[in-house]
Structure 1
Amino acid sequence: MVDGTVAPKVHALVEGSRRVVDSGWFGVVVFSVIMANAAVLGVETYSGVVEDWHTELKALEHGFLAIFTAEILLRIVAHGDRPGDFFRDPWNLFDVAVVALAFLPVTRENATVLRLLRLARVLRAARFLPQIRVVITAIGKSLPGTLSFLLVGTLLLYVYAMVGWVFFADDDPEHYGSIGRAVLTLFLLITLDGLGDAVRAGLEISRWTIVYFASFVLLGSFVLVNLLIGVVINSLEEARAMEEAEKAEPPGPAPIGPTPEPLRARIAAARQALDDLEADLGTTRGACQCLAPADEDEGRRARVPGG
């Protein structure tokens, strides 16, 4: 149980942090810092700039890290009365991991890993762009369907590559001399790249090769690709529905702290109504008790003859 003197201070801190995090300018500032970090990261790819401005770029990197750390801490404090909601959000977990890993000694000593972490900060811009966030969520939800698509596609490629190796290995060893070359050739044909040349080369071997190429293009380029598009579109609709459901969710539990004035007024009115009702009931009960003896006497006289 939080001490009574501490609870209002904690409540005020949580509410103040929440107002800052939910304000429009906060998102704009963080997004601008992320874009500035991306620009500095791009500038560092020029060796001449790094040599001339090494100290300044290092100071900027420390400044970005300090700002991102303060942002994460502010978000955590804003969820102080419901910390579970903060850690249930995958975006928050990603932000915490990207910022926290930058403080590890192993990470700071590895320039490659540090650059990748700095690059990962750019991906945080997606949380401030709802449409990009929906697309990324859709990609994640489409992974199970995409894996099924890859299995079917791999099976199709293997079967057609083996058939191509059997019929074309002797006449066209450059493209069908092994299972690996045949798979690579057919994978390029899925994109319809070089289909005309492949068909002409096949017709020189046999006129029936048109059936081989036509069936493969039909299954690989049209059926499988449209299947993948359907999986992605379905996942996109689910992600958009999830985004709208999150926006429509009611706010979290009522914060700990003083009761708002309108609610106090309603509670006082309800208490007054209960008091009035109790007073009315008490008056009615007293009247009933006073009338009861008289009613009993009248009933007794009515039962006694000549009464």
Structure 2
Amino acid sequence: MDTEQSITGKGISQIVYNKFFTNFITYLIIINAVLIGLETYPSLYEPNKDIFFILDWIILAIFAIELLLKLYVERSKFFKSAWNNFDFVIIVGSIILYNTPFVSVLRIFRVLRILRTITFFPSLRRIVQALFLAIPTIGSVLILMTIIFYVYAIIGTAFFSNINPEYFGNLQLSTITLFQIFTLESWASGIFRPLFKEEPWSWLYFVSFIVVATFIMINLIVGEIVNNAQKITDEVEKETQDIKDDTSEIKELKAEVQELKILLKTFIAQKEEK
């Protein structure tokens, strides 16, 4: 019985970790996300409710089967993966709460499973790793940006509150205004030019803020992400080169073993002739 279970387990394991099965689940996740997106169009969804309902049940059933197979193969190890825990909550919750008002929320969360596709594309995986590695630096940059926003908000409130109270009436309004300027959205026509007519020197305030907050700070973040991405690429190339070196060494060893076999055969043949 143990042997049969072991053979069955190996067979299921081969199915679960098979590339075709993995790709099939990935495509199904994408299809599920597309279907949920199409449901947001009433003109398309209302006439085809039954079709969407059937497809939703089929996809959910396949996801449930995948979950059961993984649980059978990985057992207690299954819950050590954050992705597995996320899938478990979403799929089990969707099944239990299918006929309740909460199912719509869980179905929306099922769209987040599309993030799993990141793990199947090396280039995307490297970008995400670079983003995570840049988090400490980004945090420091954000603290610095907060200080810059606070200083400029106080300056703006002090000098421009009487001229343009709509945008610089208090610290809160000034901060929101600075955020709009930071995004470069309608800052010149909506905020700067009317103020420039009253205070000609105000261009120094706006230009200096845009240069420091928008250009320099954003470039620091982008630069850090690019550097981390380059580090990851270099590490991957180094690992690949190590594998190539190991492969070449194995080939050389095989060639030497083959030569030894030939020499041994020659030696044995000579001995037999004597």
TM-score by length of 1: 0.65
After TM superposition, list the pairs within 5 Å mapping 1:95-174 onto structure 2: 95-105=87-97, 108-174=100-166
Output the CA distance in 2 between the equivalents of 1:239 and 1:11.
39
Of the candidates 72, 78, 87, which is equivalent to residue 77 of structure 1? 72
2:23 alignment counterpart: 28
1:233 alignment counterpart: 226
1:178 alignment counterpart: 170
1:273 alignment counterpart: none
1:17 alignment counterpart: 12
CA gap 1:136/1:20 in 2 versus in 1, 3 angstroms: same
CA gap 1:88/1:28 in 2 versus in 1, 3 angstroms: same
Q: Does 1:209 align with 2:217?
A: no
Q: Does 1:189 align with 2:186?
A: no
Q: Which amino acid is the alignment partner of residue 181 of structure 2? A: L
Check the 8 A contact 1:160/1:216 in 2, yes or no.
Answer: yes
Q: CA deviation at 1:163?
A: 0.5
Q: CA deviation at 1:69?
A: 1.4
CA gap 1:160/1:31 in 2 versus in 1, 3 angstroms: same
Q: Which amino acid is the alignment partner of residue 115 of structure 1? A: R
1:269 alignment counterpart: none
Output the CA distance in 2 between the equivalents of 1:138 and 1:189.
28
Runs of at least 5 residues in structure 1 that lack an aligned partner in the other structure: 249-307
Output the CA distance in 1 between the equivalents of 2:237 and 2:85.
21
Check the 8 A contact 2:94/2:107 in 1, yes or no.
Answer: no
Output the CA distance in 2 between the equivalents of 1:235 and 1:210.
36
Output the CA distance in 1 between the equivalents of 2:237 and 2:93.
32
**Larger of the two Rg values belongs to structure:** 1
Q: CA deviation at 1:166?
A: 0.6
How many residue pairs get matched? 241
Q: CA deviation at 1:103?
A: 2.8
Q: List per-residue Cα deviations over 1:163-185 (Å, max 9, x = no partner).
A: 01111111222321222221122
Q: Which amino acid is the alignment partner of residue 216 of structure 2? A: V
Q: Which moved more, 1:236-245 or 1:71-80?
A: 236-245
Of the candidates 211, 216, 228, which is equivalent to residue 218 of structure 1? 211
Q: CA deviation at 1:141?
A: 4.3
Q: CA deviation at 1:21?
A: 2.6
Q: Which moved more, 1:61-70 or 1:236-245?
A: 236-245
Q: List per-residue Cα deviations over 1:124-182 (Å, max 9, x = no partner).
A: 33333333344344444444443333332222112101101111111222321222221
1:53 is paired with a residue of what secondary structure? helix
Q: CA deviation at 1:201?
A: 4.2
Q: Does 1:60 align with 2:52?
A: no
